[in-house]
Every structure is written in structure tokens, then in C-alpha cells.
Structure 1
């Protein structure tokens, strides 16, 4: 098959890979069409429930303190217990209602969702208050379900509920908005850093093919096929995180391209441990590490060399170690060092995982080693 036909095959495969994704590639900060961001926070989390319980108990203490009495009397502690139980019932019931109705409320316009959540909290307060009255009547503590203080009891409860729930809703919404904005900014930074690597990878692959076109056309044809398969894999992975196996497959395709260019000067020794299905890592994590090892190590050595790649899982962490030989003497006009070329990768990890990820490098006895530690899950984004 002629080289031109191979090139057309590459284009056809790229088009097929783009169609296989079922959607166009979106810009960094653009959400998928028709997807409405969640306005109300998740009220089912342990953090929200804990905060609600703490605020409810503080409110119970304040109410108990403002009741006129002798504070040294034993009834003060009994009153605090009863008030705490009642307020906790109201608080936890309201949180549970918002927890189960959140997915429906978030389908509404933001103002309507906020108003509906607020009314649900007031309705919950009324229902719990009414249940308390009926419970006291069933236990024989009241002679009627409509005692003289019935109206005042509901008015006071609803007034306090309206004030406290309004403040809490505003607090939770502000915190949720801040977290959403921070997450969006982190995603944008991550995509921006990733976009620096993708074009560089494409241009580097095209340069490999260009260098082989005239001197070794057969290898160039094989490179086009590998490149078509590689890009098809990349186009079908729109997620930020991919399984470890997928990332290894992409890297091996890249190494096949480099092996065509470097011939027998490149040897890669793989040592891959077993990973659970939940193990994921950012797209194009391994490939830049291997490219760095080839660019600053193997290419500079006349006889080439071997790159040792080891991946293993330990204590819910993904460990990656890439080691390559370095030339004894380096050109004085070198624009970058192996460590400097890793800055983009380090920034990607920091944007995605924060302090949970680490990338370190060391040079010893003519060997340059890069060690990466990542969480086995990608929960931050």
C-alpha cells in the first residue's frame, strides 16, 4: 500500500474515532450541552449533617439561657434536654427532606428551587411541632390536642425556623458556590495544562513520521498505522481520568512510534503490578514521562539505552517510577534539563489532586529517576 493511501487511512481512522465518541470535544470550561449545574448543595453528606446538629444544639442552649428562671435550679438541665431533643428533631427532619428532594429541586430554576427548599423547611418545622403536640397528648401530658398555647407554640417555632433556616441556607449555598467555582477553576487549569501537552505530542509524532518518510518509507507506513490507532484511542477517551491499563496502552503505542525512529537504540523494560478496577489516573500521565526520558536521555546517547518503567499499587496509592540513563557530558546550549521538563506534569497533578500527589526526580550515578505517587481514585475532580 502506498504512503498516500496510508495517510488517507490515518484520516479515516481519526474521523471514525471522533464519531465513536458521540460528541465533539468541548473547550476546557464549557459544560456538556443541556447539563444544568446543581444549584443546591448535597444535604446528605456527613459534613452537612454534623454542621446542622452543631447549630441546632447551639440554638437549644441559647433558648434555654433566655428562659426566665433560676439557672442553678435542676429544671434548667431538664429543659435543655427537652429543648435539644425537639430542635434536633426539627433540624434532622428538615435535612432529610432536603436530602431526598434535592434532585427534584435542582431541576427547577434557581430562585424557585431556593423558595421551594425554604418552604419545605418551614413545613417540616410545622409537621414536627404538630407531632410533638399529639405525642404529648397520647402520653397523657395534655388534656387536648389544642391547648391554650397551641397557636403561640407554632408561631414561635415557625418564626425561629424562618430566621435560622434562612441563614443556614444562605451559608450552605455560599459554601457550595465557592466549592463549585474552585472546582471549575481547577478543571480549567488542568485542561489548560493538558492542552499544552496534547499539541506537543501530536507535533512530535508527525515529526517522527516526517523523519522516516524518505529514508525508510516502510517504517513510515507502519508509523502512520500506529499513529492512527493511537489517536483513535485518545479521541475515544474524553474523560480526564482513565483506567491505568488504558494509559499504559496509549504509552506503548507512543513508544512504538519512537522505536521506529530510534531503531535498536531504544529499549523499554516494563514492570507492571496488578491494579484494581477503580485505579485511574489523568490522561497522558505516562507518555510525557517516557518522552522526557527519551528526549533527555536516550536521544543524547550514541548507543541509546534502556528505560525502566515500574508501576505498582501500595496503600491505595499508584506508584510510578521511570529511570533512564543520562549522557556523561551535556551540551552547554541545552535549553532545558530533565527536571525542568517535568514542571507541566507536576502542575497537572497539583491542580488535580492537590497535596495528595507527588512528583520527585533524582539524578545519581548517571541515572535519572522520576517517581510519581497518585491517589488510586480521582475523587477531587
Structure 2
């Protein structure tokens, strides 16, 4: 099962299918090419010429390696770290020799065997430096992973939600015992889900079911003041998503948005497929500017950090307050993550 432990941020071997990894590799190797150009140049003016000459060799080689590594990424992530790193370095060195030999065959390089050795050394060294960078980055992210896990386990379900839910259930025991029993089962299921490892991705269907249980308990407390509008369009149920991604947002939408309104309001949740991305939108009415609320900021910052740990640059989270034509306002959160199936 794919998890935060296997993400590009937290794994010592990068996932070369990740857009952020690709961009960092492109920038890093080109930075090395700039440094090599200055070393070889006799002056500043000559450095530009040297860089252009190197780029004609580096760019096709770099793109070829990225394509091969992206295709082989699942294998690399499953292999032992030392073997995977050695394979990446070996691929870079061999492809460098192959390209240099092609150039020599075409008469574009007359450096002979010395040129082949130099090409292998440059390719292998560049790959080794980039792998060292990604390994250091993985170590730097380790404290953030632990912190995100702690926040997900302990900081989201507020104690007064538990007390309010239990009080609401107690009020139903005599009048509606079946409903009270169902509410207690849902409450137990909520806390069972909270005990899961939040680093593991889970199916979207499970996350939606968890959100429904949470909102059912809040509706038990607020009654008709809380209305829910679900809109799920053309989204596979087995799409992998981070756990507890929506619950903090739902909690804030209820406590900071709908509950302060005397007439209550409608909480809108939309799940849609947009190209190769899963789009999630959550909208709730609000009485005052919610961006002044620390709860909103904490929840959004927590989720944004976890999305970055799971998906790097491939995920987006936008939050904004919008004025309505009738003079009211609403708070809207929009999340886009890669549309990937859950793997066993």
C-alpha cells in the first residue's frame, strides 16, 4: 500500500514519476552543467559558449534518463536503497557513454576513449549528487512527517465534540433508542478510524464514509440547522487519498461557519474528476470573515503540509472567502490531488 513513508519527500530513493522530483532534477543537473562550464571556460564570455555546448549534450541525455526512471519508478521504490541508487548511477553513466559514442560515430566528437570515460564520470557524478540531495531532503522531512502524524492523531476531533455527541445520544436513549444505538456505533467507528496510521493512503470511499458519519453526529446535535449537499461525479471509489484530509475542514465549517448562524446553513461537498486530478470542493456559509479564525488557518496549514508530504508539487489547496449577492459570505476550500488508484 502506498503511504507517506513511500512519498518523494520521505523516501531516500526519489519517485521519478513525481513532477516535483523531475523539476528538481532538471534544475539540479543544469546547475551542475553551469558549474562545469565555468570550470572549463577561460573567461566569463567563454562560459556561455561552454554551457551551450554542454547543454546540447546534457539536455537529451537528461530527458532520456528521466523517461526511463519514471517508467522504472515502481521497481526502484521496491528495491533495496543501495541497489536502487546504484542502478540510477549506472544508468546515468551508461547512457552518457552511449550518447558520447553516438556523437563520436557521427563525427561530432573527436576526443576518443578519453571522452567516453569523461562522459561516464560526469553522468555518474551528476546522478550521485542528485541522489545525495534527495536523501538529505528525505532526512529533513522526517521531523515534519512525525509532526504531521501527531497532529492527525491528536489534534482534530475536539473534546467538546465528544461530550456534545454523548449528551445528544443520552437525550435519545429513552425516546429513540435505535437512533441512539446507531449514533453510538458511528461514534465508536469515528474513533476507530482515528487510530489508523495516518501515513497510509486509503480509498476515497472510506474517506467519504468517515465524513458522512462525522456529519451525521453533528446533525444529531444541530438538527435541521445543518444541511448537507453531496455531489460526487465520475470518481472511482478506489482512488487513493490521505486519511483525515477533509474532517478538519468539515469541523471548522460546522463550528466557525454554520453553528454561529441562527438559521444554520448548507454545507456543500463536491467530488469530481478533472483530467488526471481529483477535485474536491467544500463550501459553507459564514457570518463573519473566517480568515480571522485560528481554527481555519491551523486546519488548512495542517492539510497543506500533509498534501505536500504525500504529493510534493502535484497537489494544490486554495482557500478563500467569497461575498454573495445577498450580502452574506461563504468560505470555499478547493483541493486538487493526482488521480491514482489505491495499490495493495
TM-score scaled by length of structure 2? 0.63
Distance in 2, matches of 1:221 and 1:247, equals: 20
- Greater shift, 88-97 or 225-234, is seen at 225-234
Q: Is 1:205 matched with 2:165?
A: yes
**Larger gyration radius, structure 1 or structure 2:** 1
CA distance in 1, matches of 2:252, 2:171: 21
Separation in 2 of the partners of 1:81 and 1:223? 73
Aligned residue for 1:165, secondary structure, equals helix
The alpha carbon displacement at 1:269 in A equals 6.0
**For 2:331, what is the secondary structure of its paired residue?**
strand
With 285-294 and 151-160 compared, the bigger mean Cα shift is at 285-294
Q: Which runs of no fewer than 5 residues in structure 2 stay unpaired? A: 306-315, 339-344
- 2:62 & 2:178 partners in 1: Cα distance? 69
Query: Does 2:37 match 1:61?
Result: yes
| Distance in 2 of aligned mates of 1:268 and 1:58 | 62
Task: Report the 3-state secondary structure (helix = DSSP H, G, I; strand = E; otherwise coil) of the residue aligned with 1:320.
Answer: strand
Q: Say whether 1:192 aligns with 2:131.
A: no
* 8 Å CA contact 1:359, 1:373 repeated in 2: yes
Partner of 1:151: 113
C-alpha separation in 1, matches of 2:91 and 2:191: 47
Q: Kindly indicate whether the alpha-carbon contact (under 8 Å) linking 2:26 and 2:62 is maintained by their aligned counterparts in 1.
A: no
TM-score by length of 1: 0.58
In structure 1, what is the equivalent of residue 78 of structure 2?
A: 107
For the residues of structure 1 that align with 2:287 and 2:213, how far apart are their CA atoms?
20
Structure 1 pair 161/288, CA: closer, same or farther in 2 (3 Å)?
closer
2:227 aligned residue (264, 270, 274)? 270
Structure 1 residue 129, shift from structure 2 partner: 2.0
Pairwise CA RMSD of aligned residues? 4.9
Match of 2:11 among 38, 41, 54: 38
Q: Does 1:249 align with 2:212?
A: yes
Q: Distance in 1 between matches of 2:319 and 2:209?
A: 21
| Corresponding residue for residue 133 of structure 1 | 104
Assess if the C-alpha contact under 8 Å between 1:309 and 1:321 holds in 2. yes
Cα distance, 1:286–1:104 mapped onto 2, change above 3 Å: closer
- What residue number does 2:265 align with? 308
Q: Where do residues 1-381 of structure 1 align in structure 2 (5 Å cutoff)?
A: 38-44=11-17, 45=19, 46-52=22-28, 54-55=30-31, 57-58=33-34, 61-62=37-38, 65-66=41-42, 81-136=52-107, 149-179=111-141, 181-194=143-156, 196-197=157-158, 200-213=160-173, 217-229=174-186, 231-232=188-189, 235=192, 246=209, 249-258=212-221, 266-268=223-225, 270=227, 272=229, 274=231, 276=233, 282-283=246-247, 285-287=249-251, 289-290=253-254, 306-311=263-268, 318-322=281-285, 343-344=294-295, 346-353=297-304, 356-358=317-319, 371-378=330-337
CA distance in 1: counterparts of 2:88 and 2:38, whole angstroms: 25
